[in-house]
Structure 1
Amino acid sequence: MADYTIRPAVVGDGSFLADMVVEAANWRADATRPRPSVLSDPVYRNYVAGWQRPADRGFVADDAQGRPIAAAWYRLLAADVPAHGFVAAGVPELIIGVRPTWRAQGVGRALMRQLADAARTAGFSRLALSVEHGNFAEGLYRSEGFAVVATRGGRDTMVRRLG
C-alpha cells in the first residue's frame, strides 16, 4: 500500500486545490490543458475561487515527506453558477484530483470515502460529481455508489446517495 496520510483541507490549500482542478481537467495522458487556460474557464474557476467558504469541506493526501499528492473537496453552488455537475441547490458537488504518479493506488478512493463521511455528518443526503466520457475514474465513482443522472456535452453527472 502507498505511504500517504489524509488530513482536512485548510484555507492555505487553495493553490494546491487549483492544481488538482488542473489535474482533473488533464485526466488523459495526452491532455495539454495548461493551468492558466483551465483556471480561466468559469466552471473550473468556480470550484476553487475563494477557498475556503463556510460550507466547503475537503481532504488532502500528503506523501511520506508531507508533500500534497491529491485532494477531494465539495462545494455548494447555486443554480446560476456555472458547474459541470450541478443537480440541485443543497447538493454539494465533489471535485477530486490526483497527481498522475499516484493514480490507481487507492488514494482517490480513500479521499472520496472520507469526504462522503464528512458530507453525511454535515447532514447532506447526496453528493454529485461530473465526469467526462472515457475517463477511467468513472469506474471508481460507480464502485463508490455514484450513478449517472444526466448526460450532456460529453459528460455524465453522477450522484451518490449518502445513507
Structure 2
Amino acid sequence: MLVAAVNWSPEWRPKSRRHVLAAPDTAHYIAGWPRETDLGVVAEVDGERAGAAWLRFFPPDDPGYGFVAADVPELTIGVAAAWRGRGVGRALLDAVEARAKEAGIARISLSVERKNFAQKLYLAAGYEVTGAGTAQSDTMVKFL
C-alpha cells in the first residue's frame, strides 16, 4: 500500500514497487515493519486488500515528510486505485485514529500534496495545516 500512497496521482508516471522500496525517503515508512511502536490497520473487501493506514515514529535525524516531533507519529494511508473515492480512506483514517487513542497517542502528523484529494478528507477529519512541507505539500496535525 506504500506504492499506492506514492502513486496517488493518475497524472504522474507510476513509480514501481522496486523504486519505492529502494528510495530511502519512502522505504523508511515500512522498513523493518513492524517496529515495537508501529501501529496499523488494513481494509479488506470480499477478501481483497483495499488499503492500509499506519503510524510510524521517526527520529529527528531520519524524519518523514510530515515530521513534527519525535513523539508524534506520522500517518501514511494507501488505498488501491480501484477503491479510491469509495470511503475506504475515511474508514482507514477512523480505524487508525481509534487505535492511536487506545495506545495513548496524543497527536498525529502527516504530509499531503495540495493537489491530492485526500487533503479534503484530512481537513474534514480535523487535521490542521501547521506549515508547508515543500512547495507542493502541507504538513498537517491532529490532536486526538
State if a TM-score over 0.5 links the two structures: yes
1:39 is aligned, of 18, 21, 29, to 21
Question: By how many angstroms is 1:34 displaced?
Answer: 1.7
Question: By how many angstroms is 1:121 displaced?
Answer: 1.4
Q: Deviations over 1:115-136 (max 9, x none)?
A: 1111111111100111112111
- 1:77 is aligned to 58
Residue 114 in 1 paired to residue 95 in 2?
A: yes
Residue 46 of structure 1 contacts residue 82 of structure 1 at CA under 8 Å; is this kept in 2? no
Question: By how many angstroms is 1:84 displaced?
Answer: 0.3
- 1:12 is aligned to none
The DSSP-based 3-state class of the residue aligned with 1:58 is strand
Aligned counterparts, 1:1-40, within 5 A: 20-31=1-12, 32-40=14-22
Give the paired residue count. Answer: 142
Q: Distance in 2 between matches of 1:142 and 1:114?
A: 17
Q: Distance in 1 between matches of 2:130 and 2:93?
A: 19
Runs of 4+ in 1 over 3 A off after TM superposition: none
Superposition RMSD on alpha carbons, in Å?
1.0
Q: Residue 139 of structure 1 aligns to which amino acid in structure 2?
A: K
Residue 126 in 1 paired to residue 107 in 2?
A: yes
Aligned-pair identity in percent equals 46
Q: Which blocks of at least 5 consecutive residues in structure 2 are unaligned?
A: none
Q: Distance in 1 between matches of 2:16 and 2:95?
A: 29
Q: Deviations over 1:71-115 (max 9, x none)?
A: 001011111113101100110101000011101111110111111
Residue 160 in 1 paired to residue 142 in 2?
A: yes
Q: Residue 109 of structure 2 aligns to which amino acid in structure 1?
A: A
Q: Distance in 2 between matches of 1:129 and 1:137?
A: 11
- 2:31 is aligned to 49
> TM-score w.r.t. structure 1 length?
0.83
